[in-house]
A and B are shown apart, each in its own frame.
Chain A
């Protein structure tokens, strides 16, 4: 997995949580590798699969992982389960998507592999191979036979005989089919529900379908009754879940429901879905907003409109005169935040406001959660920058902590802070790291060159070039002798030693005794309770 440096650093910052519990979605086994060979250890650090494979998929799916015995032999792939057992009696090749390099994965108890050159097969969770089964759902697909088209099931068995001149896949209970050059809809029995009378069929649903006649699109119900005029040059789904379309004619777009209603009183140049419950419409140079009930809640007089999932109906960010403000939908000219911001954007269910390099947080009613006078210039990424409910806050060059509600939980008093865990957070003062409680008092005086979060009662700290482990009182538990050290999990801690110019990884217990020899190029370990794992060291196997 390749990411920009910024994200790499972010990922590293996230890799030291305090949660010792095994995450529900943690992979059953972790990888270890040396000299390009891959094996697996249990979450407690026991070798389950010795170094055997040259490649593997990155992600476990439904408790299975695709592994490859030899990257030079096409048919050397297999799945292993959480006990390290191989599922396939005969190794197979990767098929899922060879163009996009998608490794085989399980979905609904089934994966697709290539068992012989050009022969796809499905594999069930027990490793049983089902020849001829090559798709992942049961949608009947069109299949051409001698110039006629019918439908087949995923196993290739005929569902509907090839009696159509053309057909498209089923969507729900209906599929477009063509007879004598005209299109209609058939049901799963192959019977016409919408007679083949049209030049083409566009989006369709259980209640209606868009059909083309004389070069123009119109909406009809399944009896063929017109629900709109045949006047449109094109039509697209706007929201299938809500039965909304946008149809275009004369260079303008119209909003239509699947019953043919047209909530917009006049056509506009452009319509788009901002969230599933919010539709933005544009006039020549202004934007307005419709809500889930297709009511116009913001008139089209703003340069730009934003609203977000979860905040619909509460506050809508609009830009006018080059500045962003927050208005109440349907509230007329009432604004919740004045038009004075450089940017408004969603932050963890709140609204982040930026103005002249300063940051404040407001709820959707415009009430300040992190006020301007806090002096914030940097807040954490709400998606990835919050660990254990806290993230780093920077105010005028000093660092503190903020929680997910926007409240300052540790004042900005320090040069830098780390990740909060076990009631303590690493903090730096005068270039040295120690640990403070949320009241800002030093629990462990700053004396380290690097400090990482506590986990299972221990934290890795660095003095000079070497890492050791300390307890919450600051006592050294494991002496400073490692080149790197990670997060304790189930009584095991990944540690590294530098030998002959190479860094090797292994595991020690909470007393510092080696439980997995420190001889691996890479060691996969958990990041945090619900986050993905992190590779300590260098990936020497091939990832698919």
Chain B
């Protein structure tokens, strides 16, 4: 059995320095019993954070930490997963991290073979520590953990999913995680902790079916630890979980005897959509002759109550909430409506078992400045999530002759108010929606109003947000043509189903662009 002890100064020499003798830090004796190895360290009391590393093959390298917090001059005993033919290092100041990358020097030199003097050894823009757990592409947002957002993460759009992650319909709920392979032959195991457990589905890449749902607080990652573990993950179990829209995911590495040798954590944020606005936001329909088709009672001109959307609860749902008078109560207007048709995979803020309520959509006659006051913006400030705010307001201001400057000031103040609500609660994507042009036959039309509307749209297109953890995208619906079906035109302000369907598609595209 070979044995070797090095002290702190000797360790530093590994970095290219020189120093005095290392006599005071050594391994005094090693005893091997049936399946245990006993090492007696010899270090003065001035040395702290002692760790012992071992390896079985000098040619292959691959040191592994086998004992932490070794008492100076004391004895450490561990089981036989360390071969009796190992070579040992005793290292003091084992928590020393010269480059501040989160990885102690000893582990960088002996285990990971990264440069302890460079936080990003390979210069790829991803820190050495982050390369151990590599959350590819999406969110690794740590704000809710009380730590800063890593620069690389600021560049990423977040946890949410790119379009067509399943190879078919877009699924906004997924992210792709890559848990990097462990060093070959180290004998460690990889584990995942989810808090809360049972809320995260692991799927094979580009598949929508759940392959694995860890339900215990910690589970071992299956398969070969020497290979990357790549899975799409999704959160969608909505029932009874409306206020808890994030999962803390930890990547835990354990050594041969089960001790934690490395962890990293991210908080995965669930996307939650909140649409704010007015009658346009939930799909109010009215013909140019004044006939209203909202609330809808039956199919109309190709629009299907069953197949398309319900801007209002149906009769049974009204009955369930109690009073028919609620149909005229503004608090019960504005079910999620048509917007859901192209964003069906998203979780909608305020969704409730009855499938209706005031919590996601606008109300008739809403002015820009009133939307954050009357609309339930607070629902996206309750707990960490990735909030997607569709801000679709302004038509009422425009048709009531507000100037573009006034509308823009109100619009900006409203967005800032929303962002204030979101402070400390995760990432936010604000999708500003330009206003559709009024048809000239609209009863409230004037060219002056139209000019102000178009000018406001210019602001919405070029709006920008400097706030941390917030992004901005816009959906341009200015030129969506108004509808006319079987000789009946829409009112020139609101749409029928074809127009709303087009708008829904544009908003969905904007959401996905914004998430990139």
Subset of 10 A-B contacts with CB under 8 Å = A4-B373, A101-B365, A141-B489, A203-B481, A269-B513, A274-B461, A306-B462, A383-B405, A383-B408, A532-B406
Distance (whole angstroms) from the CB of B110 to the closest CB of chain A = 34
Chain B residues near A500: list those with CB within 8 A: none
Say yes or no: B487 contacts A166, CB within 8 Å. Answer: yes
- A498 and B414 CA atoms in complex are apart in Å by 34
Say yes or no: B466 contacts A381, CB within 8 Å. Answer: no
Say yes or no: B154 contacts A4, CB within 8 Å. Answer: no
| Binary CB contact string for chain A from 144 to 165 against chain B (1 if under 8 A, 0 otherwise) | 1000011000000000001000
Distance (whole angstroms) from the CB of A321 to the closest CB of chain B = 7
Say yes or no: B413 contacts A4, CB within 8 Å. Answer: yes
A306's nearest neighbour on chain B, judged by CB, is B462
Chain B residues near A381: list those with CB within 8 A: 409
Distance (whole angstroms) from the CB of B194 to the closest CB of chain A = 28
Cβ-neighbour of B441 out of A1, A10, A136, A167 (below 8 A): A136
Say yes or no: A354 contacts B461, CB within 8 Å. Answer: no
Chain A residues near B479: list those with CB within 8 A: 203, 236-240
Say yes or no: B487 contacts A167, CB within 8 Å. Answer: yes
Say yes or no: B445 contacts A274, CB within 8 Å. Answer: no
Say yes or no: B464 contacts A10, CB within 8 Å. Answer: no
- A166 and B462 CA atoms in complex are apart in Å by 39
Q: Check if B63 is an interface residue, CB within 8 A of chain A.
A: no
Chain B residues near A234: list those with CB within 8 A: 502, 505
Say yes or no: A4 contacts B417, CB within 8 Å. Answer: yes
A140's nearest neighbour on chain B, judged by CB, is B441
- A149 and B484 CA atoms in complex are apart in Å by 11
Say yes or no: B461 contacts A321, CB within 8 Å. Answer: no
Q: Check if B121 is an interface residue, CB within 8 A of chain A.
A: no
A102-B288 contact given A4-B414, A237-B481, A270-B509, CB 8 Å threshold: no
Say yes or no: A4 contacts B461, CB within 8 Å. Answer: no
Chain B residues near A15: list those with CB within 8 A: none
Say yes or no: A100 contacts B364, CB within 8 Å. Answer: yes
- A162 and B487 CA atoms in complex are apart in Å by 10
Cβ-neighbour of A97 out of B402, B444, B462, B489 (below 8 A): B444
Cβ-neighbour of B444 out of A105, A166, A167 (below 8 A): A105
Distance (whole angstroms) from the CB of A200 to the closest CB of chain B = 10
Q: Check if B401 is an interface residue, CB within 8 A of chain A.
A: yes
Chain B residues near A136: list those with CB within 8 A: 440-443, 445-446
Distance (whole angstroms) from the CB of A430 to the closest CB of chain B = 32
Say yes or no: A142 contacts B476, CB within 8 Å. Answer: no
A2-B369 contact given A59-B401, A100-B396, CB 8 Å threshold: yes
A112-B443 contact given A61-B401, A239-B479, A306-B462, CB 8 Å threshold: yes
- A200 and B355 CA atoms in complex are apart in Å by 35
Q: Check if B268 is an interface residue, CB within 8 A of chain A.
A: no
Say yes or no: B447 contacts A107, CB within 8 Å. Answer: yes
Query: Which of A525-544 touch B at CB < 8 Å?
Result: 532
Say yes or no: A99 contacts B486, CB within 8 Å. Answer: no
Q: Check if A222 is an interface residue, CB within 8 A of chain B.
A: no
Query: Which of B314-344 touch A at CB < 8 Å?
Result: none
Cβ-neighbour of B461 out of A6, A272, A282 (below 8 A): A272
Say yes or no: A97 contacts B446, CB within 8 Å. Answer: no
Query: Which of A80-128 touch B at CB < 8 Å?
Result: 95-97, 99-103, 105, 107-108, 112, 120
Say yes or no: A149 contacts B487, CB within 8 Å. Answer: yes
Query: Which of A307-335 touch B at CB < 8 Å?
Result: 307-309, 321-322
A6-B413 contact given A142-B487, A236-B480, CB 8 Å threshold: yes
Known A4-B417, A7-B409, A236-B480; 8 more pairs at CB < 8 Å: A3-B369, A59-B400, A102-B443, A144-B486, A237-B481, A269-B163, A345-B464, A384-B409
Query: Which of B411-431 touch A at CB < 8 Å?
Result: 413-414, 416-417
Say yes or no: B487 contacts A96, CB within 8 Å. Answer: no
Cβ-neighbour of B405 out of A6, A59, A321, A384 (below 8 A): A384
Cβ-neighbour of B288 out of A6, A141, A383 (below 8 A): A141
Query: Which of B482-511 touch A at CB < 8 Å?
Result: 482, 484-489, 493, 502, 505-506, 509
Q: Check if A137 is an interface residue, CB within 8 A of chain B.
A: yes
Q: Check if B218 is an interface residue, CB within 8 A of chain A.
A: no
B485's nearest neighbour on chain A, judged by CB, is A166
Say yes or no: A4 contacts B410, CB within 8 Å. Answer: yes
Say yes or no: B509 contacts A102, CB within 8 Å. Answer: no
Say yes or no: B513 contacts A270, CB within 8 Å. Answer: yes
Say yes or no: B461 contacts A273, CB within 8 Å. Answer: yes
A7-B369 contact given A100-B364, A100-B399, A237-B479, CB 8 Å threshold: yes
Q: Check if A37 is an interface residue, CB within 8 A of chain B.
A: no
Say yes or no: A96 contacts B443, CB within 8 Å. Answer: yes
Say yes or no: B462 contacts A307, CB within 8 Å. Answer: yes
Chain B residues near A321: list those with CB within 8 A: 155
Q: Check if A169 is an interface residue, CB within 8 A of chain B.
A: yes
Q: Check if B106 is an interface residue, CB within 8 A of chain A.
A: no
Q: Check if B191 is an interface residue, CB within 8 A of chain A.
A: no
Q: Check if B286 is an interface residue, CB within 8 A of chain A.
A: yes
Distance (whole angstroms) from the CB of B283 to the closest CB of chain A = 13
Say yes or no: B155 contacts A322, CB within 8 Å. Answer: yes
Distance (whole angstroms) from the CB of B399 to the closest CB of chain A = 5
Chain A residues near B486: list those with CB within 8 A: 144, 149, 166
A237's nearest neighbour on chain B, judged by CB, is B479
Distance (whole angstroms) from the CB of B169 to the closest CB of chain A = 11
Distance (whole angstroms) from the CB of B453 to the closest CB of chain A = 13
Say yes or no: A139 contacts B441, CB within 8 Å. Answer: yes
Q: Check if B284 is an interface residue, CB within 8 A of chain A.
A: yes
Cβ-neighbour of A308 out of B288, B462, B482 (below 8 A): B462
- A240 and B448 CA atoms in complex are apart in Å by 18
Distance (whole angstroms) from the CB of B404 to the closest CB of chain A = 8
Distance (whole angstroms) from the CB of A118 to the closest CB of chain B = 8
B404's nearest neighbour on chain A, judged by CB, is A383
Say yes or no: A134 contacts B369, CB within 8 Å. Answer: no
Say yes or no: B462 contacts A274, CB within 8 Å. Answer: yes
B505's nearest neighbour on chain A, judged by CB, is A234
- A187 and B232 CA atoms in complex are apart in Å by 55
A151's nearest neighbour on chain B, judged by CB, is B487
Say yes or no: A99 contacts B487, CB within 8 Å. Answer: no
Say yes or no: B372 contacts A4, CB within 8 Å. Answer: yes
Say yes or no: A346 contacts B462, CB within 8 Å. Answer: yes
Chain B residues near A303: list those with CB within 8 A: 155
Q: Check if A343 is an interface residue, CB within 8 A of chain B.
A: yes
Distance (whole angstroms) from the CB of B67 to the closest CB of chain A = 42
B465's nearest neighbour on chain A, judged by CB, is A343
- A337 and B155 CA atoms in complex are apart in Å by 20
User: Which of A95, A96, A141, A307 gathers most chain B CB within 10 Å?
Assistant: A141
Q: Check if B26 is an interface residue, CB within 8 A of chain A.
A: no
Q: Check if A296 is an interface residue, CB within 8 A of chain B.
A: no
- A97 and B365 CA atoms in complex are apart in Å by 10
Q: Check if B265 is an interface residue, CB within 8 A of chain A.
A: no
Distance (whole angstroms) from the CB of A386 to the closest CB of chain B = 11
Q: Check if A342 is an interface residue, CB within 8 A of chain B.
A: yes
B288's nearest neighbour on chain A, judged by CB, is A141
Q: Check if A275 is an interface residue, CB within 8 A of chain B.
A: yes
Say yes or no: B409 contacts A10, CB within 8 Å. Answer: yes
Q: Check if A168 is an interface residue, CB within 8 A of chain B.
A: yes
- A61 and B445 CA atoms in complex are apart in Å by 12
- What are the nearest 6 A-B pairs in CB distance? A144-B487, A149-B487, A237-B479, A107-B446, A343-B466, A168-B484
- A136 and B445 CA atoms in complex are apart in Å by 7
Query: Which of A444-492 touch B at CB < 8 Å?
Result: none
Q: Check if A135 is an interface residue, CB within 8 A of chain B.
A: yes
Chain A residues near B155: list those with CB within 8 A: 303, 321-322
Distance (whole angstroms) from the CB of A490 to the closest CB of chain B = 24
Query: Which of B346-368 touch A at CB < 8 Å?
Result: 364-365, 367
Chain B residues near A342: list those with CB within 8 A: 466
Distance (whole angstroms) from the CB of A221 to the closest CB of chain B = 20
Query: Which of A268-288 touch B at CB < 8 Å?
Result: 269-270, 272-275, 282, 284-285
Say yes or no: B369 contacts A4, CB within 8 Å. Answer: yes
A202's nearest neighbour on chain B, judged by CB, is B481
- A237 and B506 CA atoms in complex are apart in Å by 12
Say yes or no: B458 contacts A275, CB within 8 Å. Answer: yes
Say yes or no: A137 contacts B445, CB within 8 Å. Answer: yes
